[in-house]
Structure 1
Amino acid sequence: MTYSKQSLLLGLGLFLLTVKVLAQEDVPKLEGTVGLQEVLDYALVQSPSIRQAQIDEQIGDREIKANIAGWYPQITASAAGAYNIKLQTSAIGDQLITFGQPYNSNVLLQVDQSLFNRDQLFASRTSKYYRNQLEEVIENAKINTVVDVTKAFYDILLSEEELKIIDENLQRLEKQYKDARTRYETGLVDKTDYQRAFITLTNSKSSRNRVMNSFDAKYSYLKQLIGHPDSLDFEITFDVKGAVEDIAQDAADPLMLENRVEYRLMQTQQSLNEIQTAYEKWNYLPQLSAYYRYNWMYFNQNFSDLYNQSYPTSAVGLNLSIPIFQGGKRVHRVKAAELQVERGKIDLENLTNQINTQYDAALASYNSSLYEWEIIRENMEMAENVYDIIKMQYDEGVKAYVDLVVAETDLQTAQINHINAFYQVLLSKLDLDQALGTINY
């Protein structure tokens, strides 16, 4: 018995372990070095906001189908039973006659078919618009995900490029520090040169440490956006040279309101508002339905014999309901629906102005960022030339070390400003594409 229990527990443990391993294998993940498109492809499948929108679409589709189902025949069955403690007695002439039986029961089958019903008409006419609305909500979630993920991706790349600049400068600073110390030890210069070199080197190492410590948080945020397991790691890569060439070829497209999913969403809502107005007017129309009933009736003196014999009845007919007066409720509801349509027109006008303003601001920001990047790039090239000249002059003993430190600081600042300006152009272009409604996913 003990051996059987041990075998059972071992088998159960192996089964649970296998299920856990298979579950882990089913979890999609990014591995190794991945580019922006791979991250976006992953996000479009695993992003929590997109998955939530897709589930909302399924819920909405079920609700639409449930509302439309009222056009189909509605079949119900019911049953009842009773024990009549006191039977009804009536006087007929000079005689008292008792009606009924102590035990009775019935089973009713009823079929109802709606022929004309305003609720069902409303459900049928609005189903297409609600489905469009659900699809547009998913599209909006995808666009927002692409924008947020791309910005988080760029933020990591910016830190990586900054780290490369710092590492390149560290190599120069370490060499300068060693050269300055050697010169001091040989009596060529005083100790202030190598002390300045040490201070500059230490500050640069501090900057590197700050950038390095930011990576974990930035990768965690990116994983959160795309729905990636935080315990699994990957690294990102980006073709900076290719991005520079693409920027040079970019040209602003004309603004088309229909490209903006927010505008289409509001148009869909306005269509629903107009249908809602018609729906409220349908309150004046009658409602018509057909029915069929079949009722099995049972009654007997004895409960044990109650269901031995049935006495069925059946009927088919129409139900017509005509609204006559409801205290003015219909008039007020129609007016409220019409006012909602008027408000929807104002909302569309306001959204149009907002989109135009957003586009103008995004276009201005993009042009400004592009111009600033070109100027800063020229400054960086000039700073590189200045540094090379001062470094050569310092090696020849013409310039003081403080001039070299200033040139080094100016060069690093120019390089970091350049990479910041470049990524600002990328972000501005992303904002411009979003304003134009041309985000690809």
Structure 2
Amino acid sequence: MLTDKRILLIIGGGIAAYKSLDLIRQLRKRGAWVTPILTNAGGEFVTPLSVSALAGEKVYRDLFDLTDEAEMGHIQLSRSADLVVVAPATADLMAKMAHGHANDLASTLLMATDTPVLVAPAMNVRMWEHPATQRNIKTLRGDGIGFVGPNEGDMACGEYGPGRMAEPLEIVSAIEGMLADGPLSGQRILVTSGPTHEPIDPVRYIANRSSGSQGSAIARALAVQGADVVFVTGPADAERPQGVHIVEVQTAAEMLSAVKAVLPVNVAIFAAAVADWRVTSVSDSKIKKQNGAIPTLEFAENPDILATVSQMKTGRPELVVGFAAETDDVIAHATAKRLRKGCDWIVANDVSPETGIMGGSENAVTVISDAGAESWPRMGKEAVAHKLAERIAAALH
């Protein structure tokens, strides 16, 4: 699907530059042509020879190389590609892009291009979270620049958090999506995510520890593969995915209504950790202590959103995927849940406190279907999302 597509790859400075070598290999494997631009800082981490050998193309480095200007000027170079990819995109490179600086070959090409641009940020977590970087990201997104990553994880500097460059296969998926050749192009997909909050009174509610990060990652992965994604989320802490239609809800009842409004879809993925119960009589005012007396709360079962959609007689999605967060007998309980709900796949995981999965950055899942149970190794939630998106694309074709 990338056959004969021309990718202009700008390699910024940072330890993540080593991943750009595998990115080139993956793109060439899929039939794409890669023209590499190596910044001076990038050249401190990977050599022009290794980049050129993998790309099968000359490496461009200097804006003022007169021979290169005679053969292919920087304007022509910037516009001869189908997509410009910056990987790794450092804080410095993104700042130049956001503010229109053009003082080297890479920044000049980015200023001169009329081609879509995709960036894969990579930097220290403090640099990523710095207000200046966040302002630059907002500016770039407003300019239509595409983003893939960054992921959370351990840094080369010894810190932990967001800032790791997306893996090469994640970037490939994002490239396919931006070139409108993604394997999920034309597919409308619903993703639910996050917890629900079931009110007790104006200040209290029933909830769970779900951060919504896995659901957000799944929505992003589907979008970069070309899907038209509708993202229905409860009040989650995770950053909302870009490039999707977002519907915010609070309760299970609101989530069910939002899901029904989205239908029909080709695929429905229910990653939300929906509360099983709600309080039958929500107090209009804060419940006060009464001489040590403990208030009595009556509960009712919330609607079963997964079962409702899975068991639709007409208009059922072609593929319905549920999630099972378990603490014991994970596969047995998840297998029984799939049969009980009537969904096609169940993605099961162990959310016991010692796993650190619920609210964490990693996941270890088992995908259960008619074909049996397939356990995946523990990996980042973004990687799980991209693997699931690829599995969905294969199932639909």
TM normalised by structure 2 equals 0.19
Greater fraction of residues in strand: 2
Higher percent of residues as helix:
1
* Structure of higher RCO (CA pairs closer than 8 Å, 6+ residues apart): 1
TM-score (norm: length of structure 1): 0.18
